Copies of this chain bind each other. A is one copy, B any other.
Amino acid sequence: MATDQRQADPNRTLELLWDVQPAPTRGPKPALSVRQIVDAGIAIADAEGVAAVSMRRVADELGYTTMSLYRYVPSKTDLLELMVEHASEVPEAPDGLTGWREKLRWWATRTVDVYRHRRWALDVPLNSPPMGPNQIKRMEQALEALDETGLSGGEMLGILVALSGYVRGHAQLASTLADVEARTGTPQAAWDQAYGRMLTTFVNPAEHPTLARIVTQDGFASYAEPDDEWLGDDFAFGLELVLDGIERYLERRMSPE
């Protein structure tokens, strides 16, 4: 990647994310647009992962030279950020949801759905705080869900960070387990076999009593061979844990001292 990026310009990045370009009047008409470039990048990432997205590749896809992209986007880092922003469109919350818990469940599930459909989004290195319209809208939705609880802004943000953390972290772990083959170029079967051999070879009851017991009881099977649901049930399981935790916090907080 050569030098990557010497310096970032937050203001320029924000302009791009929120699509408020100064709209130049002078020079020749632009043949491309930021949107086209971002969409091309997304298409490549959807098909072949984010590693396949290079400036050259995007430009080729559009039929222009590599350097032409730099007239629209300051750096590859910004392009990736724009891709994530555009890829994670936020659906409007349906009307039927009642109560913070139902709303947050919906929110978390929608959020993890983005990662499910655009797994590459998790591979884009996170360099700056969430700044794009969709990211902000997503925050707003979660906060709206919590609004009815009467908590302070700080408390609501704390809960949001905790929940986001869970969602992102779980998605990342799940994605890693599910996509070993795509990530390493080595067949899933080879990984499974190696992993199994590792477990039986190194996980002896002396040093790892609990793990060893679980392994022999075969409770590990569903993790060693993740199903097509991308650990969907597992995500829901953990989500309810977190929601339960929030509920208990509310009970304690609201109950008379």
Contact = CB atoms under 8 A, between A and B. Distances in A.
Interface string A178-198: 001001111000110111011
Nearest to A144: B210
Nearest to A186: B8
A144 B213 contact: no
Nearest to A4: B51
Interface residues of A, number: 88
A61 interface: no
B219 A140 contact: no
A91 interface: no
B220 A153 contact: yes
A131 to B, nearest CB: 6
| Identical chains bound together, number | 2
Nearest to A127: B183
Given A167-B169, A185-B7, A158 B234 contact: yes
A217 interface: yes
Given A7-B184, A210-B144, A241-B159, A191 B126 contact: no
B136 A186 contact: no
A36 interface: no
A170 interface: yes
